[in-house]
Structure 1
């Protein structure tokens, strides 16, 4: 195998893709649930003395 493909950086690229997908999912969930979570904390804060 004189001309074997180099797979040294392949793992890093895969980790970067997974990290990007996780970041996209987290951002989407925060955009959807952000106002509800904020309202819940506001309600709790206003009910405290």
Structure 2
């Protein structure tokens, strides 16, 4: 019974880890393009 007590916490931690790694990977690949899009949006706001 006590062996499974922390299983849910470990699973949620692994899911959050994979999401964080995916975000870091996406930002490292598309970071400059996203920065350009963001700066264009900011420049065009009156």
Task: Output the CA distance in 2 between the equivalents of 1:48 and 1:16.
Answer: 39
Structure 1 unaligned blocks of 5 or more: none
Runs of 4+ in 1 over 4 A off after TM superposition: none
Higher helix share: 2
Question: TM-score, structure 2 length as denominator?
Answer: 0.74
Question: TM-score, structure 1 length as denominator?
Answer: 0.71
2:29 is the counterpart of 1:38: no
Which of the two has higher C-alpha Rg? 1
Structure 2 unaligned blocks of 5 or more: none
Root-mean-square deviation over aligned CA pairs: 2.0
